Amino acid sequence: MTNKVNFGDELVDPEEKTRRVGEVFSSVARRYDLMNDLMSGGLHRLWKDRFVARVKPRPGEQILDMAGGTGDVAFRMAKRGALVTVADINADMLEVGKERAERRGFTGLAWKVENAEKLSFADASFDAYTIVFGIRNVTDIPGALREAHRVLKRGGRFYCMEFSSSDWPGFSRLYDSWADKVIPRVGKVVADDEESYRYLVESIRRFPRPPVFKKMVADAGFVRPAAEPMLGGLVTIHSGWKI
Ligand code: SAM
């Protein structure tokens, strides 16, 4: 018997989830940044600024930006002098990121195709590990958290920003109708891809609520796990330390 996992609202085999998540991001890669602005009304920029302010990247430190996609978070950390490795399972997302980096004159970034569940980096390689809007797409989340812990140095910081469903009743209803009706339609018009955006909405709804994910971070070995929910938990910044 195989253990089925959720791909959005569908139950599929783990390998199929990884493959279909790959198809989603290959399909949206070229329109990803524009769609982020349209779907969040530009809010994702503020959330990412706030996230990086929490990470406090220092000049010269080694940071792994996992599921880094087209480089949005990595660019913000590189601006502060950190040496950032952008890793993602999807080569198409990284390709768009490399082109953006070139246009913006960021030369010091390393780009690497990696599965968050099984990293090629040696133990204790990084001062900080960041993952933004990435972990809900990973098939084996506890496995990815253990890998994050392994590749961090002692004293290393773990930071994750992720969506979930909000527990503010009025806001949550408003968000649900935006997510169900507007996002897939915008995806259809702008990216000619309704299905991928439907998956993104479903994956947000299925991601564990902040207290549950906080416990998963602790179970992976991180100490002082913390969760800073915004908009009633629609977006949460999680953190933890490796000692
Ligand atoms: N962090 C970027 C940002 O905030 O703009 C990109 C986020 S995008 C919503 C999610 C990313 O997770 C995609 O680039 C996707 O390829 C990546 N991803 C999904 N599963 C992954 C895995 N198992 N390992 C590494 N990256 C993964």
127 CB under 6 A from ligand 1? no
Whether the predicted pLDDT of 1 surpasses 80:
no
Please report the pLDDT score of residue 67 as a whole number. 98
pLDDT score for 32:
87
Q: Is 157:202 a contact under the CB 8 Å cutoff? A: no
Give percent above pLDDT 70 in the chain.
Answer: 99
Q: Radius of gyration of the chain from Cα atoms?
A: 17
| Residue 132 alpha carbon, nearest atom of ligand 1 | 1
Ligand 1 contact, 138 CB (< 6 A): yes
Measuring CA to CA, how many Å separate 144 from each of 3, 27, 77, 112? 17, 24, 22, 16
Q: What is the pLDDT of residue 2?
A: 63
Interval between CA 25 and ligand 1 midpoint (Å): 8
Report the separation in Å between the CA atom of 7 and the middle of ligand 1, taken as the mean of its atom positions: 15
What's the pLDDT at 187? Answer: 86
- Among residues 69, 41, 35, which one has the least CA distance to residue 191? 35
pLDDT at 150 over 90: yes
Q: Is ligand 1 within 6 A of the CB of residue 93?
A: yes
CA of 1 to the centre of ligand 1 (A): 29
Out of 51, 93, 139, 197, mutate this one to test ligand 1's pocket (max ligand atoms within 8 Å of CB): namely 93
What pLDDT digit, counting tens, does each position of 7-53 carry? 988 899 999 999 999 998 998 898 888 888 888 889 999 999 999 99
User: If pLDDT is split at 50, 70 and 90, which confidence band does 56 have?
Assistant: very high
Instruction: Tell me which of 23 and 68 has the higher pLDDT.
Output: 68
- The packing angle between helices 32-40 and 183-191, to 10°, is 150
The mean per-residue pLDDT over the stretch 188-212 comes to 89
Mapped onto helix, strand or coil, the DSSP state of residue 172 is helix
What average pLDDT does this structure show over 57-71? Answer: 97
Average pLDDT over residues 74-102: 97
Mean pLDDT of 49-70: 97
What is the per-residue DSSP string for 211-239? HHHHHHHHHTT-EEEEEEEEGGGTEEEEE
Which atom of ligand 1 sits closest to the CA of residue 33? 5
pLDDT band of 121, cuts 50, 70, 90: very high
C-alpha–C-alpha distance, residues 187 and 193, integer Å: 5
Mutate to test the pocket of ligand 1, among 23, 85, 90 (most ligand atoms within 8 A of CB): 90
Q: What is the per-residue pLDDT for 197? A: 86
- 88 CA distance to ligand 1 centroid (A)? 6
Tokens matching residue 129: 């590990």
235 close to ligand 1 (CB < 6 Angstrom):
no
Q: Ligand 1 mean position to 232 CA, how many Å? A: 23
* Prediction pTM value: 0.95
- 192 contact partners, CB below 8 Å, separation of at least 6: none
Q: How confident is the model over 176-191, as pLDDT tens digits?
A: 888 888 888 888 888 8
Q: Give me the pLDDT at residue 179, please.
A: 86
CA distances from 180 to 80, 172, 195 (A): 37, 12, 12
pLDDT of residue 167: 86
Q: What percent of the chain has pLDDT over 90?
A: 69
pLDDT at 123 over 90: yes
Q: Does the CB atom of residue 89 touch ligand 1 within 6 A?
A: yes
Residue nearest to atom 19 of ligand 1 (CA): 137
User: Which is more confidently placed, 171 or 130?
Assistant: 130
Tell how far the Cα of 137 is from the centroid of ligand 1, in angstroms. Answer: 7
Place of tokens 């938990």: 233
The mean pLDDT value for 118-124 works out to 98
Contact in structure between 136 and 116 (CB atoms under 8 Å): no
